[in-house]
Structure 1
Amino acid sequence: MDTLTLKIIFMIGLISSSAIRLPHQQQNKQNTVTDDRKTPLETGLLLLVFFGMLALPLLYVFSPWLNFANYKLPLWANGLGVVSFAIALWLFWRSHQDLGENWSPTLQVRDGHTLITNGIYQSIRHPMYTSIFLWCIAQALLLPNWIAGFAGIIAFSIMYVIRIGNEEQMMMDQFGEEYQTYMQQTKRLIPYIF
């Protein structure tokens, strides 16, 4: 596919993800935080992901500044990027729907927070992270640029590795044995595998 088509597809995905998240962000502002574990490190990690998954891709899409790092991919790889982004968006939407008022962009427990173990969460503990990893793969396949294409997977991988242990500890502190049992019955990212 030509670069313009790939950029348009990526932007459609980006706008779609914003449309999925926006209502949940609005609802999230109204919830009272009862346990806030947001640290400067957490803020820095979110900023890193912002640059890797939004700022650098938008710089690539709307300017020629990163064109020196472009590469070519076969059509099948671009098609795989479209499929990956479509699955990522569905999983992103499903995760938000199943979490409802329990969703938070940071390590926070809200008033009335409940442990969600149904829907997509019945087989994956962190489907939103799975969706974002798929998004990052799509980013590399739809934005054929060594900087903008791979910035998302690098940034999000760093955040995931540093954050996941803290998030699961927060859930164990909140839900105790119920969460430990849930952990034994599910996989973190990929059902039945990982």
Structure 2
Amino acid sequence: MLALVHPEPTSLLALGAMAAAFIISLMALAITRSRSGKAPSVAEKKSRGSMLGVFVQMIGFAAVGFGPIVASLDPHSTLAISEAGVVAVLMAFTILLFFSASRAMGKNWSIVARTREDHQLVTWGPFAAIRHPIYTGLFAFMLAMAVAFGHWRGLILGVPLYWIGTWMRVSIEERMLRGQFGAAYDAYAARVKRFVPGVI
């Protein structure tokens, strides 16, 4: 991984912010999974192909996450405090997007792309601004890792891999949604961007 070549110095403050936010994100994931697991069993269509996209995204995260960490910055220094602040903001953004998106999706939420017989086209909450808020949030998570671990060089490989994997998943998900909702999804896609409001 490119992070192995030359990690930048970081601080225990930034690592602590990352660890705390990661624990909170795991709690949010557990809450989401328990809520979606209570949904009644109905006919659904799943795409196993989206798991390949998940795998490619994970390799992107590995490119940023793996490697030595040099926590040599004085935690009281301006740089260390700034890094911790950036990590906290990025992770708060990640958690907010994930939790609000999963709450809006309710029983529709799933790691693997799927549509249910009673599937709703969710266009409220963060989906009113972007069509794939969880992927935007996960990208912020990757940036937070790079800052916290001092693995900026890992982004050179991690970012392209993450977006390739994301595109693989998005193409499958959107094809399934178009198949189920037709013109309603086309109208939604025409007015709402995928990842950044009004941009892309």
Indicate whether the TM-score tops 0.5: yes
Read off the aligned partner of 2:141 and give its amino acid letter.
Answer: W
Normalised to the residue count of structure 2, the TM-score between the two structures is 0.77
Q: Which moved more, 1:183-192 or 1:80-89?
A: 80-89
Identity of counterpart residues, as a percentage? 23
**Secondary structure at the counterpart of residue 193 of structure 1:** coil
Number of residues of Structure 1 aligned to a counterpart in Structure 2: 185
Q: What displacement does 1:108 show?
A: 1.0
Deviation at 1:45, TM superposition (A): 3.1
How far apart are the structure 1 equivalents of 2:158 and 2:42?
A: 31
> How many Å separate the matches in 1 of 2:11 and 2:99?
27
Change (3 A) 1:71 1:152: farther
Determine the structure 2 residue equivalent to 1:63.
none
For the residues of structure 2 that align with 1:189 and 1:177, how far apart are their CA atoms?
A: 21
User: In the alignment, what sits opposite 2:100?
Assistant: 94
Name the structure 2 match of 1:129: 135
Give the distance between the partners of 1:71 and 1:117, measured in 2 at CA: 46
RMSD (Å), alpha carbons: 3.1
Instruction: Give the superposition deviation at 1:175.
Output: 0.6
The structure richer in helix per residue is 1
What is the aligned counterpart of 1:85 among 91, 95, 99?
Answer: 91
TM score, norm. by length of structure 1 = 0.79
Unaligned runs of 5+ in 1: 61-65
SS in 2 for 1:67: coil
> Does the CA-based 8 Å contact 2:86-2:144 persist in structure 1?
yes
Farther-moved stretch of structure 1 (2-11 vs 110-119): 2-11
Q: Which amino acid aligns with 1:130?
A: T
1:187 alignment counterpart: 193
Question: Partner residue of 2:111?
Answer: 105
